[in-house]
Chain A
Amino acid sequence: MRRGKRNDQGARGRIALVILACVGIYAVIGARLVTLGMAPAEAHDGLLFSPQDDVQAARPDIVDRNGEVLATDLATASLFAEPRNIIDVDEAVEKLTSVLPELDIESLRASLSTDRGFIWLKREISALKREQVHNLGLPGIGFLSETKRFYPGGRAVGHIVGHVNVDNAGIAGLEKAVDGSGLMALQAAGLARKGRALAPVRVSVDLRAQHAVRDELSRAMERYRSIAAVGIVLNARTLEVVAMSSLPDYDPNHPAEALEKPRMNRALAGVFELGSVFKTFTMAMGLDAGVINLNSTMDARYPLRLGRFTIKDFHAKSRVLTIPEVFKYSSNIGTAKVALMLGAERQKAYLKAFGMFDRLETELPEAARPLVPSRWPDVTAATVSFGHGLAVTPMHAAAAAAAMVNGGIFAAPTFYPRSEAETMQIGRRVISAEASDKMRRLLKLNAEEGSGRRAQVPGFDVGGKTGTAEKAVAGGYASDRRLNSFLAAFPIDDPQYVVLVVLDEPKPEEGQYAATAGLNAAPTVANIISRIGPMLNVTPRFNDNDDVARAMTVAYQD
Chain B
Amino acid sequence: MVKHPARLAVVLITVLAATSSATAVFMMKKDAERDAKAIGELQRKISAERQRISELEAEWSALDHPARLQALVDRHNDVLRLENITAEQIATVIEVASAARRESEKRGASQ
- Residues of chain A touching chain B, judged by Cβ–Cβ distance below 8 Å, are 43-45, 47-48, 61, 68-70, 72-75, 150, 152-156, 194-195, 197, 207-208, 211-212, 214-215, 457-460, 530-531, 533-534, 539-540, 542, 545, 547-552, 554-555
Q: Does A74 lie within 8 Å of B58, measured CB to CB?
A: yes
- List the 10 closest pairs (A to B, CB-CB), nearest first: A459-B87, A195-B47, A540-B87, A152-B61, A211-B66, A69-B61, A152-B62, A548-B99, A48-B40, A72-B58
- Complex Cα distance, B64 from A208, in Å, reads 10
Could you tell me which B residues sit within 8 Å of A by CB distance?
36, 39-40, 43-44, 46-47, 50-51, 54-55, 57-62, 64-67, 70, 84-92, 95-96, 98-100, 102-103
CA of A501 to CA of B111 in the docked complex: distance in angstroms?
53
Residue of B at shortest CB range from A69?
Answer: B61
- The count of A-to-B residue pairs whose CB atoms sit within 8 angstroms is 113
Chain A residue numbers with a CB within 8 Å of B65 are 152-154, 156, 207, 211
CB distance from B92 to the nearest CB of A (A): 7
- Kindly provide the distance from the CB of A366 to the nearest chain B CB, expressed in whole angstroms: 23
In the bound assembly, the distance between CA atoms of A194 and B46 in angstroms comes to: 11
In the complex, what residues of A have CB within 8 A of residue B50's CB? 195, 197
Query: In the complex the two chains form, what is the Cα distance from A208 to B67 in whole Å?
Result: 9
Given contacts A74-B58, A156-B65, A542-B87, 15 further A-B contacts (CB under 8 A): A47-B39, A48-B40, A69-B60, A69-B61, A152-B59, A154-B65, A154-B67, A215-B67, A458-B86, A458-B87, A459-B88, A540-B88, A548-B95, A551-B88, A554-B89
Given known A48-B40, A530-B84, contact A194–B61 (CB-CB < 8 A): no
Docked-complex contact B66 and A45, CB < 8 angstroms: no
Please pick, from B36, B87, B95, B102, the residue contacting A534 in the complex, using a CB distance under 8 A.
B87
The majority secondary structure among interface residues of chain A is mixed
**Cα distance, A418 to B75, chains bound together (Å):** 38
A69 and B60 CA atoms in complex are apart in Å by 9
Which B residues lie within 8 Å of A47 (CB)? 36, 39-40
What separation, in Å, do the CA atoms of A80 and B64 have in the docked complex? 36
22 contacts between A and B (CB under 8 A): A44-B39, A47-B36, A47-B39, A69-B57, A69-B60, A70-B61, A152-B58, A152-B62, A153-B65, A154-B65, A207-B65, A207-B66, A457-B87, A459-B87, A530-B84, A530-B86, A534-B90, A542-B87, A551-B88, A551-B89, A551-B91, A555-B89
CA A155 – CA B62 in complex, angstroms?
12
Secondary structure class of chain B's binding surface, majority of residues: helix
Residues in B whose Cβ lies below 8 Å from that of A153: 61, 65
Given that A539-B90, A551-B90 are known contacts, is A211 also in contact with B54, CB under 8 Å in the complex? no
Tell me which residues across on chain B come within 8 A of A212, comparing CB atoms. 66
Q: Which residues of chain A are near B43, meaning CB under 8 Å?
A: 43, 45, 48, 195
User: In whole angstroms, what is the CA distance A459 to B87 when docked?
Assistant: 6
Q: Measured between alpha carbons, how far is A550 from B36 in the docked complex, in Å?
A: 69
How many angstroms from the CA of A539 to the CA of B93 in the assembled complex?
A: 12
A554 close to B67 (CB less than 8 A) = no
Which of B46, B55, B57, B61 meets A195, CB within 8 Å?
Answer: B46
Known: A211-B70, A545-B102. A552 touches B47 (CB 8 A): no
Contacts of B98 in A (CB 8 A): 545, 548
Contact B61 A548 (CB under 8 A): no
In the bound assembly, the distance between CA atoms of A460 and B85 in angstroms comes to 13
CA–CA, A61 and B50, complex, Å: 13
Report which of A156, A534, A540 forms a contact with B66, defined as CB distance below 8 A.
Answer: A156
Q: Chain B residue with minimal CB distance to A533?
A: B87
Nearest CB of chain A from residue B64's CB, rounded to whole Å: 8
* CA A195 to CA B55, docked complex, whole Å: 12
Instruction: Give the contacting residue for B47; candidates A69, A194, A457; CB below 8 A.
Output: A194
| Complex interface: chain B residues within 8 A of A72 (CB) | 54, 57-58, 61
Enumerate chain A residues within 8 angstroms of B99, measured Cβ to Cβ. 545, 548-549, 552
- Bound-complex Cα distance A214 to B70 (A): 12
B contact residues around A530 at 8 Å (CB): 84, 86-87
Partner of B96, one of A155, A457, A459, A552: A552
Minimum C-beta distance from A76 to chain B (A): 11
Can you name the residue of chain B whose Cβ is closest to the Cβ of A68? B61
Inter-chain contact B67/A156, CB cutoff 8 Å: yes
